[in-house]
Amino acid sequence: MDCIFCKIIKGEIPSYTVYEDQIVKVFLDINPDTNGHLLIIPKKHCLGLAEIDDNTLLHVMKIARKMETLLKEKLKIDGLTLIQNNGSVQEVKHYHLHLKPHYNEKNVIKPVDEIYNMLIN
């Protein structure tokens, strides 16, 4: 399988991981739309919403809550959008949930490694 997210899960491709457990991995998007743009991916490969099992989907949402708290505490976000694409609009064919922070004030995109250090310290 040539899935970039599966390769990230296996450690074949590096990532800015901010959270990981037996079910999911959470890391910063390397081409963020905003500071703190995170991806939550299940470790078990599944294409999209129709394929992900209910327990994993529920766990993804629980971790999304946890990540919202982290983003509020560390980056002082003012809002958060969750996006999950399927089918032809899905760039990587592995279920993933985008967490895109919003800020009331205009926010200059900072380097991903700088945001990573802010989140893990």
Per-residue pLDDT tens digits of the chain, which is 121 residues long? 689 999 999 999 999 999 999 999 999 999 999 999 999 999 999 999 999 999 999 999 999 999 999 999 999 999 999 999 999 999 999 999 999 999 999 889 999 999 999 999 9
> How would you class 64 by CB atoms within 10 Å of its CB: exposed for 0-12, middle for 13-18, buried for 19 or more?
middle
Q: Delimit the domains of the chain by residue range.
A: 4-120
Fold for the domain defined by 4-120: HIT family, subunit A (3.30.428)
Helix count and strand count (H, E) for the chain = 3, 5
102 assigned to active site: no
Active-site residue, from 37, 59, 94, 96:
96
pTM beyond 0.85: the answer is yes
Residue the block writes with tokens 């993804």: 60
